[in-house]
Amino acid sequence: MSDLTHFDDTGASRMVDVSGKPVTERLARAEGFVEMRPETLARILNREFAKGDVLEVARLAGIMATKRTADLIPLCHSLGLDAASVDLRPGSDRTLRIESTVRVQGRTGVEMEALTAVSVAALTVYDMCKSIDRGMVITGIRLLEKQGGRSGTWTVAESGDSGASRPD
């Protein structure tokens, strides 16, 4: 089990000790999609929901979620983030694409924070629109890029991922 960083040699769970790592600039980008009926997406884009502006509420929820990632994911380090953004835009006439970017000067990466932002933003879209479209599907949540640390830069394009999980 020694190749799994969240377990010690006996198999016991542990938080990885990052105290000896240098502080470097870290960045992570993630994406996800919410598939819905075309008329649902049109109402979102035209800001026609009584609950409020779906895009802005989802954006705020995603940003807020980045700051709570350590409370949600066991063994995840608590980080003082430097920046977090969430972008929501149509991917097609029935798909809303969500992308998050998170930055920190730290000893560990922010992949989980970027993925959490996308996930919570997507769940917020679902919550705000479920009264008219319970058949929405949240899909394709994945890491697009990470920078910094000992392993350097990684991108989904370099990983050989075909992008098959993307609905567009």
Half-sphere exposure at residue 61, Cβ-oriented, CA atoms within 13 angstroms: 19
> Is the Cβ–Cβ distance between 142 and 31 less than 8 Å?
yes
16-30, 47-61, 80-94, range with the lowest pLDDT: 16-30
The whole-angstrom separation of Cα 93 and Cα 106 is: 39
The whole-angstrom separation of Cα 60 and Cα 63 is: 5
Give the three-state DSSP class for 143.
strand
Domains of the chain in start order, with CATH, are 24-155 (3.30.70.640)
- The one catalytic residue in 127, 133, 161, 168 is 127
Phi-psi region of 140 (alpha: psi -120 to 50; beta: other; left: phi over 0): left
Burial of 82: CB neighbours in 10 Å, binned 0-12, 13-18, 19+: middle
- Tokens representing 120 are 């919570």
List the one residue out of 2, 157, 7, 166 whose CA is nearest residue 74.
7
pLDDT confidence of residue 13? 79
pLDDT in tens, 131-167: 999 999 999 999 999 999 888 999 998 777 655 555 5
pTM over 0.85: yes
Annotation marks residue 3 as catalytic? no
Q: What is the pLDDT of residue 1?
A: 40
Task: Provide the pLDDT confidence category of residue 65 given band limits of 50, 70 and 90.
Answer: very high
